[in-house]
């Protein structure tokens, strides 16, 4: 009888361990929910009721994930730094925006408040490099 109890207990413990291992996800994997995502300093700032988002385009877009405030006039500042790769061929499909950026400089792109919701994808013309802004 005692053996049966011990067997049942060890089965329960094993199941618990396996379940734990399967459902454990190391920090950083937050899926698409945004919410608690922390931006690096200097990426998003607000001045006089306008939100500014700074993205560096060079061999990709950095940062690749940005959390921003929704429903506020937003200006993307796309910074190029001797950018000769295709991240200079900027494409923001949801805004119908497509432009070649200067190799070096800062290109401001206005996002009207009504577009500052859900998420916005920043892509190179081929869709190989990308960044995503989550508005919440
Ligand atoms: Cu590309």
Contact 67, 116 (CB under 8 A): no
- Domain for residue 34, yes or no? no
Whole-prediction pTM value? 0.73
- Domain for residue 38, yes or no? no
pLDDT tens by residue, 50-84: 999 999 999 999 999 999 999 999 999 999 999 99
- Domain for residue 57, yes or no? yes
Domain limits for position 123: 44-135
pLDDT tens by residue, 82-134: 999 999 999 999 999 999 999 999 999 999 999 999 999 999 999 999 999 99
How far does residue 59's CA lie from ligand 1's centre (Å)?
A: 9
How far does residue 86's CA lie from ligand 1's centre (Å)?
A: 5
Q: Which residues contact 76 (CB under 8 A, 6 or more apart)?
A: 53, 55, 108, 109, 110, 111, 122
- Domain for residue 93, yes or no? yes
- Domain for residue 84, yes or no? yes
Tally Cβ neighbours within 10 Å of residue 54.
19
How far does residue 123's CA lie from ligand 1's centre (Å)?
A: 8
Q: Per 3-state DSSP, what percentage of the chain is helix, strand, and coil (rounded to 5)?
A: 25, 40, 40
Could you give the count of Cα atoms lying within 13 Å of 55 in the half-sphere of its Cβ?
A: 33
Surrounding ion ligand 1 within 5 Å at CB are 86, 124, 126, 128
3-state secondary structure of 44: strand
CATH number of the domain at 92, please.
2.60.40.420
- Domain for residue 62, yes or no? yes
How far does residue 125's CA lie from ligand 1's centre (Å)?
A: 6
- Domain for residue 72, yes or no? yes
pLDDT tens by residue, 35-56: 567 999 999 999 999 999 999 9
pLDDT tens by residue, 5-26: 555 555 554 544 445 444 444 4
- Domain for residue 125, yes or no? yes
| Number of domains the chain contains | 1
């Amino acid at each position: 009888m005692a053996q049966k109890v011990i067997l049942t207990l060890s089965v329960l413990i094993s199941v618990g361990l396996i379940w734990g291992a399967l459902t454990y996800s190391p920090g950083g994997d937050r899926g698409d929910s945004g919410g608690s995502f922390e931006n690096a300093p200097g990426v998003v700032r607000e001045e006089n009721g306008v939100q500014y988002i700074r993205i560096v385009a060079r061999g990709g877009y950095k940062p690749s994930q940005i959390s921003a405030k929704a429903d506020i006039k937003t200006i993307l500042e796309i910074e190029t730094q001797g950018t000769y790769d295709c991240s200079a061929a900027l494409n923001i499909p949801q805004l119908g925006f497509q432009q070649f950026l200067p190799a070096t400089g800062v290109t401001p792109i206005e996002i009207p408040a009504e577009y500052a919701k859900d998420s916005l994808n920043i892509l190179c013309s081929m869709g190989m490099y990308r960044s995503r802004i989550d508005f919440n």
